[in-house]
């Protein structure tokens, strides 16, 4: 089944069929062609793929991220970041990265980060005479921090797919996310200094305090979500519910920047996004099951075990995932390949939590690489710059992600220190 499925999938992709439907059509044809299973099995596997209480967190994080963008939370976090690093050469590009670190603790989505913060910061950078390509080139890689710093929708998907603690995965992404953020800020500083991009006036201590006070309630939201997962106060789904309610209360009753009558339209838009994600998850779950039926994980384990060196095996897996990330969106790639690759790496002594961090760091790079790169597409649309031009500017920041990926792969404490500290 696997050979037929892969061939059909590649043909459909070449003809421009969307990933989700290419997976579904290829799976259906392969099942019918095999004659070993009834097509009804496909419906059962699709249902099983999305029938998870933990996956309810996904639409909740989507709604929370949208509310954070529309209720004034994101705006206040940007203002705080501006007072902290705006005075450095190329200050607004550093603000973009730091704000992404703050916002990543709310949305769990790189696309939400790129869309929400990009619409605020890319025009602001252009207004300050930054090159549009550079403005978008900073935003796209910075948005990937949103799926490393918890909460993280891709890590939810990984945890559900392979049966690993979501809380442990969230904590495993914390240090990699912070490292990516600091490295990207350093690169932004070097580039900005070389190109003589402007800096903002240094904020006085009273201005920093005022921005902190104004954004305290906004800042409390990601801190609470992080603490809730870290100390087992609530499940990711429950934290998603609290985040939605909290953002709504702030926007409507505290900041008075959100009209409650907009909620139905927001829920419809988020519902459409969730439906698309569910279709992808459902079809990818079928394909993943078909791989398992053909014993693909065991075949792969047999092949890679002959390589001998775990370092070489991990390099091969990372190169493969980087290639996959360029062609397939993160969520289907996670569902398709996590169950196949996990038995291989666990045999070599790699913890499933560490491998979750490796896959997330790796596939996040695909969000900024053509031709699929979701964050690259969003940023190029806002900056009104061709994707390839923008990617050229984004490349130094992507190298930061790549460096952290190597750290996560070959130095276990980067992803395992916090989970072990918290008893996972």
Q: Please report the sign of the dihedral spanned by the C-alpha atoms of residue 88, residue 93, residue 98, residue 102.
A: positive
Does residue 46 form part of some domain?
Answer: no
420/424 Cα distance (integer angstroms): 5
Closest CA to 178 of 88, 97, 114, 120: 97
pLDDT at residue 1, rounded to an integer: 65
Pick left, alpha or beta for residue 16 (phi over 0 → left; psi -120 to 50 → alpha; otherwise beta): left
Distance of alpha carbon 166 from the chain centroid: 15
Does residue 42 form part of some domain?
Answer: no
Query: Per-residue pLDDT for the chain (424 aa), expressed as one digit of tens each?
Result: 677 777 887 788 777 788 788 888 888 888 887 776 777 888 888 888 888 777 888 888 888 888 887 888 888 888 888 898 888 888 889 999 999 888 877 878 888 888 888 888 899 888 888 888 999 999 999 999 988 998 888 898 898 888 888 888 989 999 999 999 999 999 999 999 888 888 888 888 898 899 888 888 888 888 888 788 777 788 888 888 888 898 888 888 888 887 888 888 888 888 888 888 888 888 888 888 887 777 777 777 777 777 777 888 889 899 999 988 888 888 888 888 888 888 888 888 889 999 999 999 999 999 999 887 888 989 999 988 888 889 999 999 999 999 999 999 999 999 999 988 888 7
Residues 135 and 218 in one domain: yes
Look up the pTM and report it. 0.88
Residues 30 and 129 in one domain: no
Structural domain for 25, as ranges: 1-37
Q: Please report the sign of the dihedral spanned by the C-alpha atoms of residue 274, residue 279, residue 280, residue 285.
A: positive
pLDDT at residue 140, rounded to an integer: 92
Q: Is there a contact between 179 and 407 (Cβ–Cβ < 8 Å)?
A: yes
Residues 186 and 116 in one domain: yes
pLDDT at residue 172, rounded to an integer: 92
Residues 57 and 184 in one domain: yes
CA atoms within 13 A on the CB side of 279: 14
Does residue 44 form part of some domain?
Answer: no
Residues 100 and 152 in one domain: yes
Surface-to-core class of residue 29, CB atoms within 10 Å of its CB (0-12 exposed, 13-18 middle, 19+ buried) = middle
Element (H, E) at 192: helix 174-195
Domains contained in the chain, number: 2
| Residues written for the chain | 424
């Amino acid at each position: 089944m696997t050979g037929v499925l892969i061939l059909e999938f590649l043909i459909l992709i070449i003809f421009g069929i969307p990933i989700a439907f290419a997976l579904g059509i290829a799976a259906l044809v392969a099942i019918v062609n095999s004659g070993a299973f009834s097509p009804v099995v496909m419906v059962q596997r699709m249902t099983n793929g999305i029938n998870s209480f933990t996956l309810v967190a996904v639409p909740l994080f989507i709604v929370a991220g949208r509310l954070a963008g529309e209720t004034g939370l994101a705006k206040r976090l940007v203002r705080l970041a501006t007072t902290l690093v705006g005075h450095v050469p190329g200050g607004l590009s550093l603000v973009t990265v730091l704000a992404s670190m703050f916002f990543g603790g709310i949305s769990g989505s790189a696309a939400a980060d790129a869309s929400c913060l990009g619409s605020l910061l890319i025009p602001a950078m252009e207004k300050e005479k930054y090159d549009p390509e550079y403005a978008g080139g900073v935003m796209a890689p910075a948005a990937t921090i949103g799926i490393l710093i918890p909460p993280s929708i891709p890590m939810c998907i990984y945890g559900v797919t392979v049966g690993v603690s979501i809380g442990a995965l969230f904590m495993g992404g914390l240090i990699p996310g912070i490292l990516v953020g600091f490295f990207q800020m350093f690169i932004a500083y070097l580039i900005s200094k070389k190109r003589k991009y402007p800096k903002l006036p240094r904020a006085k201590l009273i201005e920093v305090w005022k921005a902190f006070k104004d954004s305290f309630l906004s800042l409390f939201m990601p801190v609470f979500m992080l603490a809730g997962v870290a100390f087992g106060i609530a499940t990711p789904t429950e934290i998603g519910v609290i985040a939605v309610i909290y953002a709504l209360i702030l926007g409507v009753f505290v900041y008075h920047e959100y009209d409650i009558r907009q909620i139905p339209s927001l829920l419809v838009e988020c519902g459409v996004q969730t439906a698309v994600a569910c279709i992808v998850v459902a079809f990818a779950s079928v394909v993943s099951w078909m791989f398992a039926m053909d014993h693909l994980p065991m075949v792969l384990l047999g092949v890679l075990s002959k390589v001998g060196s775990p370092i070489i095996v991990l390099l091969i897996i990372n190169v493969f995932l980087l290639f996959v990330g360029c062609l397939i969106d993160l969520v289907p790639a996670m569902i398709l390949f996590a169950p196949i690759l996990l038995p291989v790496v666990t045999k070599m002594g790699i913890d499933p939590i560490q491998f979750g961090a490796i896959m997330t760091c790796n596939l996040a790079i695909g969000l900024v690489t053509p031709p699929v790169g979701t964050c690259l597409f969003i940023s190029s649309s806002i900056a009104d710059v061709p994707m390839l031009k923008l990617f050229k500017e984004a490349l130094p920041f992507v190298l930061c992600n790549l460096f952290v990926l190597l750290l996560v792969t070959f130095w276990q404490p980067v992803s395992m220190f916090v989970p072990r500290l918290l008893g996972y």
